Amino acid sequence: MPVKKHWLYPVLALLLFAGCRKDLKVVSFTDKGAPVTALSVSSLFQNNMVVQRDKPVNIWGQAPVHTPVTVNVSWSSASLLAITDASGNWKVSVPPAAANSSPQAITVKAPGYTTVTFSDVLIGDVWICSGQSNMVMPVDTMAPFKGVLNYVAEIAAANYPLIRVLTVQEDIEASPIANLKRAVSWNVCSPATVGSTSAVAYYFARKLNTTLNVPIGIIVSAVNGSYCQDWANVEAIENNPNVANNYLAGSSGLYNGMINPLINLSIKGFTWYQGENNQVDPSLSAFTLLNADLVKGWRSKFNQPDLPFYYVQLTPFAADYSSTMPPGGNPISDYLAYFREAQANMRPLLANTGMVVTMDVGDPANHHPADKKPVGERLGLLALNYTYSQNVPCVGPQYASLTASQSTVTINFVPGTAEGLSTGNNAPLKQCFFVAGTDQVFREGQAVISGNTIVITAPEGTPLPVIAARYAFTNAPVTNLQNAAGLPAEPFRTDNWHN
C-alpha cells in the first residue's frame, strides 16, 4: 500500500530548500503591510506576566509564511506546534491550568530564528480595567492628578509581588488592529512601580489578591476625556438603531487601537469607570443602551459571552462649584442624578454586571476625587461575591418601596442590603431626602433612621399626601447613609416625572 504523504511534507521541504537557496525568499506581511522577517510573539506576552487560570491560554505571534512554530510552557509537558498562515500569523492554545504562584516559563521556537523565552510567568486571574480619567488616575501625583489620599504611605506599602500590571498606551485607530502599536511591559507591583499604576485598578487587584491569595494581572486600557462610544466596537453600535442614531459617527477609535489587540486573551472579566464625557448626552436612555452594547460587543469579541462587567457610578460633582455664593454649586441642580440613573439602568439589561456607588467618597469641586481606595475595593467586593462566590457584602442599601401616610413616608430597602442601617462615623444623617405632595414639587424633608428603614417627614407647605420621594438625586450630594458593611445607599427616586 502506498504511504500517504502528510500535507506538512512539502512545507518542510520548502523550508529546507529555502535554507539552502539564499536567493529564495518566502515573504509574508503584517496587517499593516510590513513584511514579516522574524519570529515574534504578541507584545502582550512579557516577563512577569499573568496568564488566565482554568481557561485555555492562547499564545500567538508572527513569522514568515509556512514557518513551523513550537511552543512549550513549563506547567505542561506537551509541545504545541503551529504553522504560520499566508499572512504570517500563528497561534496555539495551551490547555487550562490551575492557579500557580511559582514562576513559570514560556518558550517559543522556530527553525532558523532566535528562541523567545518569557520568565516569571504566573497563573492566576486577568482583568481588563478600562474607562476614562478616573480609571487612569495613578496612585502617585501625575499632573493634573494630585495622587490618592495618603499616596506616600500607600506607595511605600505596595509590596504585592503576585499583582502584575500592564498599561496599554493611548492609540486611536480608524479600524481594528491585531497588535498593539506601542510598546508595553508587565510590571511586578512594588513601591518602585505602583506610583504610575491606575489607582482604582490597583486597589481592585489588591482586594482580590489579599482575599483569594492567587496571582492577579490587571491590564489597564483607559484614556482621559474619552467617550463610551470610543470604546464600543462599531458592529455593536450598528446593530442597535437607537444607539447608532446617537453614537455611530466617530465611534470605536479606542476600541480599535486598545481593546481589539487584546481579544485573543483569556481573561476573568472587566472593570469600567467612565461617564464624565457622556453626562450631558441628549438621550440618556440611548446612553444606557450604548453602555450595554459595549459590554455585549466586548464579550462577543473575546468569545467569552459571560464575562463579568463591574462598573462605577459617577461621584458627586458640581460643575458650577466656584460660581455660586457660597461656593458649592446650585444645591438642587440634578442633571447628573439623571445620568447616574441611566448608569444604574444598565444592570437589568445584562447578566454578570454590578455597579459601585460612590456618593460618600466624592469631592463636589473635583470630578477626580482623591479617595480611590473605596472605589477599587468595592469593585473587588462585587467580583468576590458575584464571580468568586465569596460570602461578602458587596452593595449598599437599595430602594425597594415607599409607604406613604399623609405627611410622612417610609423608605423600605431591598432585603439584605440595609442591615445595620447607620451613618459613617455615627455622624448626623445628611439630609439628602426630598419629598413631593400632590403638586409634584420636591421639597427637602427631614429624615431619620428607623431600624432598617428611613422615615421622612414632609416640610410645612407640602400639599398632602406625600406621593413621591427622592434620595441624593442632585448633582453633588456627598452622603453618609450606609449599611453595617460601610457600603453607601444608592441614589433613587420613586417617581418617573420629568422635573
Tens-digit pLDDT profile for residues 48-87: 999 999 999 999 999 999 999 999 999 999 999 999 999 9
Residue whose C-alpha is closest to residue 452's, from 494, 491, 489: 489
What pLDDT is stored for residue 13 in this prediction? 36
Asked if 37 contacts 29 with a C-beta cutoff of 8 angstroms, the reply is: no
Number of C-alpha atoms within 13 angstroms, CB side, residue 158?
29
- What mean pLDDT is predicted for residues 221-230? 98
CA 369 → CA 188, 320, 364, distances in Å?
A: 26, 16, 8
Average pLDDT, the chain: 93
CA distance 45 to 42: 6
What pLDDT is stored for residue 25 in this prediction? 37
What pLDDT is stored for residue 30 in this prediction? 57
Place of cell 469579541: 301
Check whether 19 has a pLDDT greater than 80.
Answer: no
CA distance 347 to 75: 39
CA distance 409 to 179: 57
**Angle of helix 373-382 versus helix 199-212 axis, rounded to 10:** 50
Check whether 183 has a pLDDT greater than 50.
Answer: yes
CA 32 → CA 27, 36, 135, 180, 265, distances in Å?
A: 14, 11, 30, 12, 21
Residues near 217 by Cβ (< 8 Å), separated by ≥ 6? 49, 50, 51, 122, 124, 125, 126, 127, 163, 164, 165, 166, 186
Residue whose C-alpha is closest to residue 490's, from 338, 333, 365, 313: 313
What pLDDT is stored for residue 1 in this prediction? 36
- Region class of 236: left (phi > 0), else alpha (psi between -120 and 50), else beta: alpha
pLDDT band at 144 (very low <50, low <70, confident <90, very high): confident
- Is 429 buried (19+), middle (13-18) or exposed (0-12) by CB count in 10 A? middle
* Kind of pairing between the strands at 216-222 and 116-131: parallel
pLDDT in tens, 89-129: 999 999 999 999 999 999 999 999 999 999 999 999 999 99
Angle at 476 (CA atoms; ends 324, 359), nearest 5 degrees: 160
Percent of the chain with pLDDT over 90: 92
Please give the grid coordinates belonging to residue 296: 455585549
Residue whose C-alpha is closest to residue 444's, from 463, 430, 459, 429: 459
pLDDT in tens, 392-419: 999 999 999 999 999 999 999 999 999 9
